[in-house]
Amino acid sequence: MAIVSNTVDYLDGDTVLQGFFAYDDSLQGQRPVVLIHHAWAGRDEFVAEKARKLASLGYLAFAADVYGKGIRGNNTAENAALMQPFMQNRAMLQQRLLAALNAARVMPWADDERIAAIGFCFGGLCALDLARSGAAIRGVVSFHGLLLPADNLPAPDIKAKILVLHGADDPMVSIDQVVALQQELTRARADWQMHSYGHTMHAFTNPAANDPGFGTVYNPVADRRSWQAALNFLDEILVVS
């Protein structure tokens, strides 16, 4: 096994973005693609490590960049300031997500018929919005994602299968929002499932999350279970089918 990783610049209009990709160079030919969407701080080592893990399993992993090349938040105030424009303008966010999808599609190792997307926190909402946009991908996985509907897509045309991995005690996602997402996906006739982990708060996959007052706490059991659930889902939609 020889994991190769690097960055690649791509564009959304005039905005320069920088993705991080990884793949196993010992494998021959094209391979299924998994897009990875970052949390509110920007494309960081957390998603880079997820990319390397997925590459070791035979995927071409592409960690997308929503904010722009080199743009990262360093604290909650900066993170919120970076995320909010995209929360307030979901059409802009969806355009940014499609730019990453197009950049990944044209990579020489990509099987552009077998693409999925995952995301964490804000990135979970990104993965769901990519599905809402009608993108022709196999499926998406949201890890402790924000579940707010896209106001510009009241009746989304969802082609992708959906897996939502949610902390039952996540203070950033209300029960009403959980029910509303389920109803939205059902109305769209999407193939969807949701796993809710008990005694689990927001950011449960991030070992650096340790702020109960803010609602972000790492849960190693939920982390392990959710990752295995995601791998099973990816295997089903990208490898077995």
Contacts of 44 (CB under 8 A, 6+ apart): 38, 72
> Tens digit of pLDDT for each residue in 181-235?
999 999 999 999 999 999 999 999 999 999 999 999 999 999 999 999 999 999 9
pLDDT > 90 in the chain, percent:
98
> Tens digit of pLDDT for each residue in 80-127?
999 999 999 999 999 999 999 999 999 999 999 999 999 999 999 999
Question: What is the pLDDT, as a whole number, of residue 194?
Answer: 98
Would you place residue 241 in the very low, low, confident or very high pLDDT band (cuts 50, 70, 90)? very low
SS3 per residue for 98-135: HHHHHHHHCCCCEEEEEEEEEEECHHHHHHHHHHHCCC
Residue 147 has pLDDT above 80, yes or no: yes
Q: How many CB atoms lie within 10 A of CB 59?
A: 25
Q: Concatenate the DSSP letters of all residues of 32-70 into one string.
A: EEEEEE--TT-S-HHHHHHHHHHHHTT-EEEE--SS-TT
CATH of the domain at 155: 3.40.50.1820
Count the domains in the chain: 1
Domain encompassing residue 153: 3-240
* CA gyration radius, the chain: 16
Residue 173 has pLDDT above 50, yes or no: yes
Would you place residue 240 in the very low, low, confident or very high pLDDT band (cuts 50, 70, 90)? low
Query: What is the CA angle 52-53-58, rounded to 5?
Result: 90
